Amino acid sequence: MSSRVRLVVVLLVLKLVSVHGALGQQASTPAVTPIPIDATEEQVKQAVSLVRAGEKLTPKAWPNGARVAVCLSFDVDNELLWRRTPWPVPLSQGEYGATTGLPRVLDLLDRHSIPASFYIPAMSAALHPQMIQDILQRKRHEIGVHGWMHENMTQVNDAAKEQQLLTQSIEYLTKAIGKRPVGFRAPAWEFSQSTMEQIRKAGFLYDSSFMAMDEPYELLASGEKTGMIELPINWIADDYPYYEPEASGSLPDPDLVYEVYKGEFDMAYRERTMFVLTLHPHISGHRSRVAALEKLIIYMKSKPGVWFATLEQVAEYVKAQGK
Ligand SMILES: [Zn+2]
């Protein structure tokens, strides 16, 4: 790792907390009980038990003997990241995702004939209905649930309200894409006390919001197996912490970001697991960044045994292997 790359990684780690807040958009204090320093062992175990990592679910082999599954995923948040401060100029930064970022990303995926998963908040789709048509028209991609208004569940913190927003989001996307979405990615990657139970009841095939491993695993809820497949994400393999002006790395050279992603992919390849990259069209859809992303795709395609898949395809395969 070069010293420049190391610096980016250090900056990322230092600022993870502020990035997290920024993505959630001006976090209010979530109503959660802190773990007291004199808590008993039992109380500590109880306090962390709401959602935990269960068994690893990486299959013995990926389809056609592939060594690694690669999932490119895009959270199409666009204007909704400025929901709380909707001034025209910042909104235009999000609008860019629809006018330019997404079309450019779709063209890139076409050039390399690879699939991707798109997580779209309902109101983001409502602002730009053409986005869904453009994604569906490729007949290769997946569209999953990413909230109604990109609401952060820890801030909504109201089970009935959350249920209503989740139901509305599923219904909206079902109508827009012509089938019920099977994947859930929590807006701002946040779960409240109620989220796990609600997405289980909704019957999602998989979730992609947690970070307890970097390979597929089963989610446990209060110690119980749920059957819910987790396809985990990570801030390291995301674009927000590197590129957003208010975030940690703050606009570094796309080649440095490429090196970080490449390092993540290389180890996944060596370990024969999975590499999930999470990008945002309004962030990574810019010219120099798409060029770096294309370099990454070309690099990954140059290796034998790389399975490019949607998260839905990975979850279906994992599920089938588990039977
Ligand atoms: Zn998002």
Say if CB 209 and CB 186 are below 8 A apart. yes
Burial of 234 (0-12, 13-18, 19+ CB in 10 A): middle
Given this model, what pLDDT does residue 28 score? 52
Which parts of the chain have pLDDT scores under 70? Answer: 1-30, 248-249
How far is ligand 1, taken at its centre, from the CA of residue 76, in Å?
7
Q: Distance (Å, rounded) from C-alpha 67 to C-alpha 45?
A: 36
Residue with tokens 């025209």, as numbered in its chain: 88
35: CA distance to ligand 1 center in Å?
Answer: 28
pLDDT on residue 8: 45
Q: How far is the CA of 80 from the centre of ligand 1 (A)?
A: 9
CA of 190 to the centre of ligand 1 (A): 10
Reported in sequence order, the residue ranges of 92-235 that DSSP labels E, i.e. its strands, are 117-120, 142-145, 183-184, 206-207, 217-221, 224-230
For residue 151, the Cα-to-chain-centroid distance in whole angstroms is 15
- d(C-alpha 147, C-alpha 141), whole Å: 19
143: Cβ–Cβ under 8 A, 6 or more apart, which residues?
Answer: 117, 118, 119, 120, 132, 135, 136, 173, 176, 177, 181
The residue count of the chain comes to: 323
> How far apart, in whole angstroms, are the C-alpha atoms of residue 44 and residue 239?
33
- What phi and psi, each to the nearest 5 degrees, are found at residue 190? -125, 135
CA of residue 112 to ligand 1 center, whole Å: 25
Taking residue 33's Cβ as centre, other Cβ atoms within 10 Å add up to: 6
Helix (H) / strand (E) containing 17: helix 3-24
Residue 53 has, within 13 A of its CA and on its CB side, a CA count of: 15
Asked if 224 and 52 count as a contact pair (C-beta separation under 8 A), the reply is no
* pLDDT tens-digit readout, 206-257: 999 999 999 999 999 999 999 999 999 999 999 999 998 777 667 789 999 9
CA of 81 to the centre of ligand 1 (A): 8
Expressed in angstroms and rounded, the spacing between residue 94 Cα and the centre of ligand 1 is: 12
Question: What percent of the chain clears pLDDT 70, i.e. is strictly above it?
Answer: 89
> How far is the centre of ligand 1, averaged over its atoms, from the C-alpha of 3 (Å)?
30
Q: Write the CA distances from 285 to 116, 127, 155, integer angstroms.
A: 14, 18, 29
Q: Evaluate whether 24 touches 81 at the Cβ level (below 8 Å).
A: no
Can you say how many angstroms the Cα of residue 164 is from the centroid of all Cα atoms in its chain?
22
Place of tokens 């749920």: 226
